[in-house]
């Protein structure tokens, strides 16, 4: 490298290096709250009316047809989120970071709620759908994860085009609690079960490294599984996602939907399915020593999604959604799912 180029590189490195903070200057983490609400919601084509950034015909067809329609969708979603007030909200079927910015603006201006965004571009070119996270506090990092070359060539895994991994931390000194949240949107349709199984194996591989940070791990999102909560079949996509490849069970995840009443587990509006799940690691199910994050309850909230009498047929959503009367137009074909955790003394 020529000397003057080397000097430029050094200058850039120093220009982008944040100053070191001393302990007396600022608290390292956000304060630990009394409780934590973690939610997931597939917003069903949360795409704005601008199609200049869309390339697939499907995404153009299902985008909001006008500014007025888009404003309606944003305001309806914001109103439901304001009633939930989640600390961490994983969203699926969003278009991009811009639509999340529209949503956080509405939450702030209409409801006085401040949310920040964690978002990384995925690569589902067919739908152009993405996932993202809105959060109140606690975030320290977020990213995407990938499989290695040998893993790809083994054909035992399948890439997750729509996912995000976020690490949260609260408290200071002796009272610090961390949480890793993985938001997923797995392959859809029953006939794609084998690909979902390979995606589940990939996530379990990632958990080996993620668990080195903390034993508090949540996987949530639209898993598109055909499995019914409490009736897990060996080798299914959900079983592979929840269970270790080994015979050990101490790192098996818990399906929190099994803690909801039987008749309140349906998360899809008209397919009568339980696609949307929140899975928690064992550490979140047992009260450990000191300050600890502990699961309390879970709810599926159709009341925050269904408007009017509720229109539970596929044509109303997939073919004539924007032709419906706004007073009868449901927000999404998925219901939000919310789990609450306490920070025990």
Distance CA 49, CA 62 (A): 9
Per-residue pLDDT at 283 exceeds 80: yes
> Residue range 234-252: average pLDDT?
80
Strands 130-135, 276-280: pairing is unpaired
Confirm whether 178 is domain-assigned. Answer: yes
Lowest mean pLDDT among 20-24, 37-41, 199-203, 261-265: 20-24
Per-residue pLDDT at 24 exceeds 70: no
Residues 170-186: tens digit of each pLDDT: 998 788 999 999 999 99
Per-residue pLDDT at 12 exceeds 60: no
Confirm whether 192 is domain-assigned. Answer: yes
Confirm whether 303 is domain-assigned. Answer: yes
- What's the helix, strand, coil split of the chain in %, to 5? 30, 25, 45
Q: What is the pLDDT of residue 290?
A: 72
Q: What is the pLDDT of residue 318?
A: 79
Distance CA 270, CA 311 (A): 8
Confirm whether 344 is domain-assigned. Answer: no
Kindly indicate the confidence band of residue 287, based on its pLDDT and cuts at 50, 70 and 90: confident
Nearest alpha carbon to residue 161 among 216, 212, 198: 198
Confirm whether 316 is domain-assigned. Answer: yes
The answer for residues whose C-beta is within 8 angstroms of residue 83's C-beta and 6 or more apart is 304
> Residue range 53-75: average pLDDT?
96
Q: Between 200 and 245, whose confidence is greater? A: 200
Judging by beta carbons within 10 Å of its beta carbon (0-12, 13-18, 19+), is residue 102 exposed, middle or buried?
buried
Say if residues 179 and 135 touch (Cβ distance below 8 Å): no
| Structure token pair of residue 152 | 């790809």
Domain that holds residue 248: 28-336
Confirm whether 11 is domain-assigned. Answer: no
Total-model pTM: 0.91
Mean pLDDT for all residues in the chain: 90
Confirm whether 204 is domain-assigned. Answer: yes
Q: Tally the domains of the chain.
A: 1
Give the 3-state secondary structure of residue 250.
coil
Q: What is the pLDDT of residue 329?
A: 93
Distance CA 96, CA 76 (A): 18
The answer for residues whose C-beta is within 8 angstroms of residue 175's C-beta and 6 or more apart is 32, 290, 291
Per-residue pLDDT at 48 exceeds 50: yes
Confirm whether 5 is domain-assigned. Answer: no
Lowest mean pLDDT among 53-67, 194-208, 303-317: 303-317
Q: What is the CATH number of the domain that holds 130?
A: 3.60.10.10
Alpha helices in 17-62 (DSSP H): 57-62
Residues 104-131: tens digit of each pLDDT: 999 999 999 999 999 999 999 999 999 9
| Structure token pair of residue 29 | 């983490």
Distance CA 46, CA 162 (A): 15
């Amino acid at each position: 490298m020529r000397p003057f180029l080397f000097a430029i590189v050094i200058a850039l490195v120093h220009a982008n290096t944040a100053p070191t903070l001393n302990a007396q200057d600022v608290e390292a983490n956000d304060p630990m709250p009394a409780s934590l609400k973690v939610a997931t919601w597939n917003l069903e084509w949360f795409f704005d009316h601008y199609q200049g950034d869309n390339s697939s015909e499907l995404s153009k067809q299902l985008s909001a047809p006008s500014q007025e329609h888009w404003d309606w969708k944003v305001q309806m979603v914001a109103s439901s989120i304001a009633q939930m007030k989640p600390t961490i909200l994983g969203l699926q079927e969003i278009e991009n970071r811009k639509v999340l910015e529209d949503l956080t603006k509405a939450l702030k201006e209409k409801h006085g709620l401040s949310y920040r965004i964690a978002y990384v571009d995925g690569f589902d070119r067919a739908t152009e759908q993405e996932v993202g996270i809105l959060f109140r506090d606690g975030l320290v990092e977020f990213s995407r994860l990938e499989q290695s070359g040998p893993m790809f060539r083994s054909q035992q895994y399948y890439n997750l085009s729509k996912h995000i991994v976020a690490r949260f931390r609260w408290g200071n000194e002796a009272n610090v609690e961390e949480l890793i949240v993985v938001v997923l949107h797995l392959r859809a349709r029953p006939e794609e079960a084998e690909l979902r199984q390979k995606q589940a194996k990939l996530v379990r591989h990632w958990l080996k490294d993620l668990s080195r940070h903390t034993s508090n791990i949540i996987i949530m999102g639209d898993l598109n599984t055909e499995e019914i909560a409490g009736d897990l079949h060996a080798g299914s996509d959900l079983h592979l996602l929840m269970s270790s490849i080994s015979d050990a069970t101490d790192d098996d995840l818990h399906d929190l939907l099994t803690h909801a009443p039987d008749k309140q587990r349906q998360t899809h509006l008209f397919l009568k399915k339980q696609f949307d799940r929140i899975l928690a690691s064992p550490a979140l199910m047992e009260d450990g020593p000191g300050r600890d994050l502990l699961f309390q309850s879970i709810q599926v909230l159709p009341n925050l999604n269904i408007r009017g009498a509720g229109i539970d047929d596929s044509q109303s959503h997939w073919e004539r959604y924007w032709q419906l009367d706004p007073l009868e137009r449901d927000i999404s074909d998925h219901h939000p799912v919310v789990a609450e955790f306490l920070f025990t003394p």
